[in-house]
Amino acid sequence: MAATAGPPGAHERRSASDATGVALLGACAAWTLITAGVHGGQPEGVLLAVLAVAAGYAGGRICGTLLPVAAPCAGALAGIALAALAPRLSPGPVSTAPLGHTGATAALLVLASGAACCAAWAARKPALRLVLRLLAAGTVVAAAALGSLAGVAACTGILLCSLAAALMRRRALGLAGLALATVVVTGLTWAIADDVLPDGLSASLEGQIGGHRVRLWQDALDLAGREPALGVGPGRFGDASPTVAENLLSDGKPHSAPLQQAAEQGFAGVALLAAVFCWLLYALYRSPRSPQVVLSAGAALTALAAVASVGNALSVTAVTTGAGYLAGIVTARPLSDEPSQVRPPGSPPWAAGPG
C-alpha cells in the first residue's frame, strides 16, 4: 500500500529542512577553510567529517525509503561489529585509551542501539519487533563486554527512552527534552573546564573524568579565550596545548567536540556545530515517520552528542557516517505505510505529520 502524501505543505517543509542542512554543512566546510587559511592547520579532518555526515545522510534517506526495517537493522549490526574494532578505528596509539577508544566504542554502540530501536518500531510483526528489541538490549551487553561504562549507560538510556516513547502523544515535547539534556551535558563540560563548579562537585567529576582530560579541556578553553574569533586553526590544538606537549602518547586532541571547535575554529565554529545538531533535531521533528521511531533516533543522537562532549568520538569517520545514516533513515518516507503504533489509552490516532 502506498504511503500517504501527508498534510499539505509537508513536502515543502521537508525540502526546506534538507536545504537548511546542506547550507549548514557547506558553512562548516567553508569556515574550516577560512580558519585554516588564516592560521594554517589541517582542515582535512573536519572536511572529511562533514563529507561523512552528508554521505551517510544521503545513503540513509535512500535505504530508509526502500528498506525501513532492514536498513536500520543492518546499521545496528554494523555498529556492533565496528565497535569491536574501535581501537583500530580511533586515531592515536592504543595506549591513549580510554581517552580515544572508549569514546569511539560508546559512540558506535549508541548508534547501533538507536538503529535497532528504530527498526523495532518500524517492524510490523510482533515476533520480529521482539527480536529487534533483543538486538537493542544486546548493545548493552556488548558495551559491558567491551569495557565501555559510558556505552552501557548510554545504550540503556536509549532503550528505556525508546520504550517510553510508546506513551508520548507528541514528538515535539520529547525532542525538546532531548535538546535540553544536550545543553546540560555540554554546559557541564564547559563548567568543568572553566572551574566554576563547587569544589566538592568539581573534584568528584574530575575524579571520574580524569585529571589529564580536564587539563586538555582547560587548554582548549584558554586557547579559545586567546583567539575567540577564528581559533588557532583546525588540527592545531596539539601544537598549542601545553598538556599535549607533556604527554608523548597524546593524539593531540582535547577530547571534547565543542571545546575542540572553540579552540581551533573559535566560537563561530561552536555555533555551527550547535546549528548542525539543531538541524538534525528539526529534521526529525519534520520526519514523516512515527513518533516512536523519531524519538528513538533522537535519543541516540542526543547520547552521541553527550559522548562527543566528553570524548573524541567525532574524530572517527565511522561515527560521523553512522550519525548521518541514522538521521537519514528516520527522515525518509518509506514506500509502505508505517505499522500501527502503541499509544496511550484514550489518545487520538497519530497524525500523518509531525506530532
Query: What tens digit of pLDDT does each residue of 171-203 get?
Result: 999 999 999 999 999 999 999 999 898 888 888
**Is residue 345 very low, low, confident or very high in pLDDT (cuts 50, 70, 90)?**
very low
**Is residue 208 very low, low, confident or very high in pLDDT (cuts 50, 70, 90)?**
confident
**Closest by CA position to 57, among listed 329, 311, 295, 259:** 329
Report how far residue 60's alpha carbon sits from residue 55's, in angstroms, rounded to the nearest whole number. 8
Residue found by looking up cell 585509551 in the block: 97
- Please give the model's pTM, rounded to 2 decimal places: 0.89
Percent of the chain with pLDDT over 90: 69
pLDDT for 1 equals 37
pLDDT for 17 equals 86
Report how far residue 110's alpha carbon sits from residue 190's, in angstroms, rounded to the nearest whole number. 23
pLDDT for 169 equals 79
pLDDT for 4 equals 40
* In contact, 1 and 336? CB cutoff 8 Å: yes
Beta-carbon contacts of 309 under 8 Å, excluding residues fewer than 6 positions away, are 185, 186, 189, 256, 257, 258
Percent of the chain with pLDDT over 70: 85
Beta-carbon contacts of 70 under 8 Å, excluding residues fewer than 6 positions away, are 119
**Is residue 231 very low, low, confident or very high in pLDDT (cuts 50, 70, 90)?**
very high
SS3 45: helix
Residues 120-134, mean pLDDT to the nearest whole number: 96
List pLDDT tens digits, range 24-66. Answer: 999 999 999 999 999 888 999 999 999 999 999 999 999 999 9
- How many Cβ atoms from other residues are within 10 Å of residue 153's Cβ? 16
Q: Assess whether pLDDT exceeds 90 at residue 111.
A: yes
Report how far residue 336's alpha carbon sits from residue 93's, in angstroms, rounded to the nearest whole number. 47
Report how far residue 343's alpha carbon sits from residue 303's, in angstroms, rounded to the nearest whole number. 25
More confident residue, 22 or 95: 22
User: For residue 72, what are the CA distances in angstroms to 59, 60, 334?
Assistant: 12, 9, 13
Cell numbers placing 4 = 500517504
**Is residue 117 very low, low, confident or very high in pLDDT (cuts 50, 70, 90)?**
very high
**Assign residue 41 a region: left if phi > 0, alpha if psi is -120 to 50, beta otherwise?**
left
Beta-carbon contacts of 170 under 8 Å, excluding residues fewer than 6 positions away, are 291, 355
Question: What is the chain's mean pLDDT, rounded?
Answer: 87
Residue found by looking up cell 566538592 in the block: 200
More confident residue, 168 or 281: 281
Burial 175-198 (b: 16+ CB within 10 A, else e): bebbbebbeebbebbbebbeeeee
- How many Cβ atoms from other residues are within 10 Å of residue 99's Cβ? 24
* In contact, 83 and 316? CB cutoff 8 Å: no
Q: Assess whether pLDDT exceeds 80 at residue 248.
A: no
List pLDDT tens digits, range 303-341. Answer: 999 999 998 899 899 999 999 999 999 999 988 765 545
User: For residue 244, what are the CA distances in angstroms to 65, 141, 176, 220?
Assistant: 45, 34, 37, 11
Residues 286-313, mean pLDDT to the nearest whole number: 95
Q: Assess whether pLDDT exceeds 80 at residue 126.
A: yes
Q: Assess whether pLDDT exceeds 90 at residue 7.
A: no
**Is residue 274 very low, low, confident or very high in pLDDT (cuts 50, 70, 90)?**
very high
Q: Assess whether pLDDT exceeds 70 at residue 128.
A: yes
pLDDT for 97 equals 39
pLDDT for 199 equals 84
List pLDDT tens digits, range 80-89. Answer: 999 988 665 5
Residues 203-225, mean pLDDT to the nearest whole number: 90
* In contact, 250 and 292? CB cutoff 8 Å: no
Report how far residue 269's alpha carbon sits from residue 273's, in angstroms, rounded to the nearest whole number. 6
**Is residue 227 very low, low, confident or very high in pLDDT (cuts 50, 70, 90)?**
very high
Q: What is the dihedral of CA 85, 89, 91, 97, to 10 degrees?
A: -20
pLDDT for 156 equals 97
